[in-house]
Amino acid sequence: MITLSEENYLKCIYRLWQDKGQKITPTAIAESLGNNPASVVDMIRKLTDKQLINYDKKKGVELTAQGQKDATMIVRRHRLWEVFLLEKLDYHWDEIHDIAEELEHIKDATLADRLDKFLGFPEYDPHGDPIPKANGKMAKRYSTTLADVKTGGQCRVVAVKDTTSQFLQYLQKLGINIGTKIQLIEKISFDNSLVISIDGAEHKTVSQKFGESLLIDM
Amino acid sequence: MITLSEENYLKCIYRLWQDKGQKITPTAIAESLGNNPASVVDMIRKLTDKQLINYDKKKGVELTAQGQKDATMIVRRHRLWEVFLLEKLDYHWDEIHDIAEELEHIKDATLADRLDKFLGFPEYDPHGDPIPKANGKMAKRYSTTLADVKTGGQCRVVAVKDTTSQFLQYLQKLGINIGTKIQLIEKISFDNSLVISIDGAEHKTVSQKFGESLLIDM
DNA sequence: AAATAAAATTAGGTGAGACTAATTTTATTT
DNA sequence: AAATAAAATTAGTCTCACCTAATTTTATTT
Ligand SMILES: [Mn+2]
Ligand SMILES: [Mn+2]
Ligand SMILES: [Mn+2]
Ligand SMILES: [Mn+2]
């Protein structure tokens, strides 16, 4: 049996692996989960014993085939519940992440599949992240961010990389949603701030961090 | 903050209090939860410190006003999720209890109310138990069992007192559901077995325990 | 009332999952 | 290469929620 904490660690490792192709270190995991590195070392031992990860000082932490499978199914449950909360219970997109963080741990052989069917087999969650199918396959995951767009370039928001309510509420205030069209007017070389036009409206300036948190399609 | 275990204890005490009007002892709680009496004594101390119960060797365990309120809200969540699982995800009534046992612990200020609305404000759960409203009020709770019916008496099943899949599957096999009409043909005085006719069909014999697990309306 | 049985409680212990503080290893500067 | 900084690890502690075994209290028989 896999515990709730183990699941959260697995999911965290999975996310770090998808995000950056970099080496996954104990410190990175600790930061991401808000835990102490010493606790992470304990858990690395546990997950290694359970053959869900491999750890090598050179290569860092890597998911085993089983670990990847498990992580994918946790992500599947998380994203399906997010769709449920938004579409059926009328939550806003900045409220659903934390609740899904708990719902994802409910284990029942057929629950995810039934929920999937009930929701009409959605491809993406409300933040634009692809929902893994029962077989682990999933739709395309975008990786280009607004910060990668060249000056003058036009793009369309396809997903958010940051799901904190601070970021999502800021997006709401700016009128940005999945599907919104953005044009990059200018990149300020001093601090990489971005001057953008949202849906053709007047120019607004956002930070580099902001740009790196929005996934787009050109 | 109230933990998952504390919630399970509270709900257990609430159920024992509703079921039998008897004194609630550590042993009774231990049996009901499948825990050791020593563990129950630990938890009694914790819940007493949190002012959710009172314990007196004479009177046994009693819920405080706050404890009652909390327990009622856990029950509300449990029963609402059961309705969701049955009606929206097409589970059978013998599969939903254990999943709801986990879902009930997910805490979010508005989740239960949204779910309630989404489900159309159901009065009863799939086992015939009344669902507490947001204000704690709930529809009538039946207390007469099939074992209380007099020979020749006619009644209608309104709820099940036992939600184990063993019992529910047995009911399924007998063709008994909420709403089914049952006539008590004879009570065997030797062991209180009951000879019944289900929806006017041929006579069948069931045990006393069975009779005490079915709540009916005359 | 004394003996016996049952229930409640205490004492001490375990494993999970976190922590802090100290130490060791590895990487980066100077 | 030595010094310094950062990262990883170890050692020891804590809380939660359970356990077993022993003891004390309460109830039931004889
Ligand atoms: Mn989680
Ligand atoms: Mn999401
Ligand atoms: Mn529960
Ligand atoms: Mn029920």
User: What pLDDT does residue A36 have?
Assistant: 98
User: What pLDDT does residue B19 have?
Assistant: 84
| Interchain CB contact of A217 with B (< 8 Å) | no
Do A89 and B111 make contact, defined as CB atoms within 8 angstroms?
yes
In order, the DSSP letters of B157-183 are EEEES---HHHHHHHHHHT--TT-EEE
Task: State what percent of residues in chain B have pLDDT above 70.
Answer: 100
- Topology (CATH level 3) of domain B146-217: SH3 type barrels. (2.30.30)
| Nearest-Cα residue of chain B relative to residue A113 | B89
Which of 68-97 (B) contact A at CB < 8 A?
A: 88-91
Sign of CA dihedral B115, B117, B118, B122: positive
pLDDT at B21 exceeding the cut of 90: no
User: What pLDDT does residue B69 have?
Assistant: 98
Domain regions of chain B by residue span: 4-63, 146-217
User: What pLDDT does residue B33 have?
Assistant: 98
A197-217: pLDDT as tens digits = 999 998 999 999 999 999 999
User: What pLDDT does residue A19 have?
Assistant: 83
Average confidence (pLDDT) per 10 residues, chain A, 218 residues: 97 93 94 98 98 96 98 98 98 97 97 98 97 96 94 96 93 95 95 94 94 95
Contacts of A91 in chain B (CB under 8 A): 114
- Would you call A193 helix, strand, or coil by DSSP? strand
User: Is the separation of the CB atoms in B189 and B174 below 8 Å?
Assistant: no
Q: Estimate in Å the CA B10 to C1' D16 gap, whole number.
A: 17
* Cα angle B106, B20, B146; round to 5: 100
User: What pLDDT does residue B20 have?
Assistant: 75
B38-84: pLDDT as tens digits = 999 999 999 999 999 999 999 999 999 999 999 999 999 999 999 99
User: What pLDDT does residue B58 have?
Assistant: 92
One fold for both B4-63 and B146-217? no
Contacts of B91 in chain A (CB under 8 A): 114
User: What pLDDT does residue B22 have?
Assistant: 86
CB within 5 A of ion ligand 3: which residues?
B 8, 101
B169-186: pLDDT as tens digits = 999 999 999 999 999 999
How far apart are alpha carbons B42 and B39 in whole angstroms? 5
B89-136: pLDDT as tens digits = 999 999 999 999 999 999 999 999 999 999 999 999 999 999 999 999
Instruction: Look at phi and psi of residue B77 and say left if phi exceeds 0, alpha if psi is from -120 to 50, else beta.
Output: alpha
Contact between the CB of B38 and strand C at under 7 Å: yes
Cβ within 8 Å of residue A162, ≥6 positions away: A168, A213
User: Is the separation of the CB atoms in B131 and B125 below 8 Å?
Assistant: yes
Dihedrals φ, ψ of B118, to 5°?
A: -60, -35
- Topology (CATH level 3) of domain A4-63: Arc Repressor Mutant, subunit A (1.10.10)
